[in-house]
Amino acid sequence: MAGSRPGGRRGAPPESSTTQVPTPTPDPGDGGRFVFRTRVLSAADLRRAHTRIAHEIVERNHGPAGLVLVGLHTRGPAIAARIAAAIASFEDVEVPVGSLDVAFYRDDIGRRPVAPAGPTEIPVDVTDRVVVIVDDVLQTGRTARAALDALTELGRPRAVQLAVLVDRGHRELPIRADYVGKNLPTGYAEDVRVRLTDTDGVEDGIELWGPAGDDYADADADDGPGPVGDPPGGDAGDGNGGPR
C-alpha cells in the first residue's frame, strides 16, 4: 500500500477520528491469554482497501463482465459485498456475490469438530466465469485450498483468483493472493483480529493481538509453526484465531 504524507495534502488539517482503540489489557474472551498490540487498519483504511481491491480486480480482468465474487464464511461474504458495491459505484454493473462454506473440505477433518459456518449460496453458475474468492486473512493457505476443492463441485470456472484483506505470511501451501489489502508481517503466535460492522456489530477495524506477559516472550523465542494446520491465528475462515 502506497505511503502518504502525515496530515494529507499540505495545508489541510489532519483527519479527525472517533475510533476508540482498545486498551492493552487481556481479552477475557480468550481467558486473558492475548492482549492488544496495535490497530492495523481503521474503518477509513478498510474502506480505502475495499475500493482499491475493487479497482484492481476490474483492471486485471479488463472490466467486470463475467466476474463473480465468492466470500468465505464468516467475514468473506460481507467483504465481497463491499467490493461489489465499490465496483458498482464506478462501473455501474452489479457483480454477482455469493458465499461458500468450506468446513467439509478442510484437510484437518478428524483433528477438530466440523463446524459449518454458514450456507453456500452462489446466485450464478460459476462455469466459464472468473471467480474471485474473498476472505479476511490469509495465513497457511489451507482455507483457500479447501475453497478450490469446494468450487470444483459447483462448476468449472474460467479462472479463480484470491482477494484478502490481510496477508500475514506463514504459508504452508504454495498459495498466493492476487489482491491484498495489507501485507502484515506477524509473529506466528500473534492473532490478527478483523472486526466488521456487518458480522460483529462493532466498528470496522483490524487489530493485532499477542500473547500476554511471559507467553509473548516465549512465543518470540520460538517463532515457528506448530503442528500442521494448527497455527494460533490462521485462516479458519473466521478471521480471529484458528488455522487459515
Q: For residue 88, what pLDDT is reported? A: 98
Rounded to an integer, what distance in angstroms lies between the CA atom of residue 138 and that of residue 147?
Answer: 13
Amino acid 213 reads G
221 SS3 class: helix
Residue 112 lies in a domain: yes
Rounded to an integer, what distance in angstroms lies between the CA atom of residue 185 and that of residue 181?
Answer: 13
Residue 239 lies in a domain: no
Residue 74 lies in a domain: yes
Rounded to an integer, what distance in angstroms lies between the CA atom of residue 25 and that of residue 58?
Answer: 42
Provide DSSP, 29-43: GGTT-EEEEEEEE-H
Residue 14 lies in a domain: no
What does pLDDT average to over the chain? 83
Q: Which domain holds residue 160?
A: 40-186
Mutual orientation of helices 76-91 and 43-60 as an angle, nearest 10°? 60
202 in Cβ contact with 243 (< 8 Å) = no
Helix/strand number for the chain, H first, E second: 5, 8
CA of 149: how far to CAs of 10, 156, 213, in Å?
50, 11, 40
Q: What is the CATH classification number for the domain harbouring 147?
A: 3.40.50.2020
Residue 198 lies in a domain: no
pLDDT of 5 strictly over 60? no
160 SS3 class: strand
pLDDT digits (tens, 9 = 90+) for 105-123: 999 887 878 888 899 999 9
Q: For residue 112, what pLDDT is reported? A: 78
99 SS3 class: strand
Provide DSSP, 44-73: HHHHHHHHHHHHHHHHHTTSSTTEEEEEET
Q: pLDDT band for position 243 (50/70/90)? A: low
pLDDT digits (tens, 9 = 90+) for 216-233: 545 554 455 443 334 444
> Mean pLDDT over residues 64-73, rounded?
98
pLDDT of 4 strictly over 50? no
Provide DSSP, 146-210: HHHHHHHTT---SEEEEEEEEE----SSS---SEEEEE----TT-EEEEE-HHHHSS--EEEEEE
pLDDT of 8 strictly over 70? no
Lowest mean pLDDT among 86-95, 154-163, 206-215, 231-240: 231-240
The rounded percent of the chain whose pLDDT value lies above 90 is 67
- What is the domain count for the chain? 1
Rounded to an integer, what distance in angstroms lies between the CA atom of residue 29 and that of residue 236?
Answer: 18
Residue 232 lies in a domain: no
- Asked if the bond preceding 74 is cis, omega within 30° of 0, the reply is yes
pLDDT of 27 strictly over 80? no
> Mean pLDDT over residues 4-8, rounded?
40
Amino acid 42 reads S
- Residue (of 233, 237, 244) closest to 79 by Cα position: 237
Residue 200 lies in a domain: no
Residue 32 lies in a domain: no
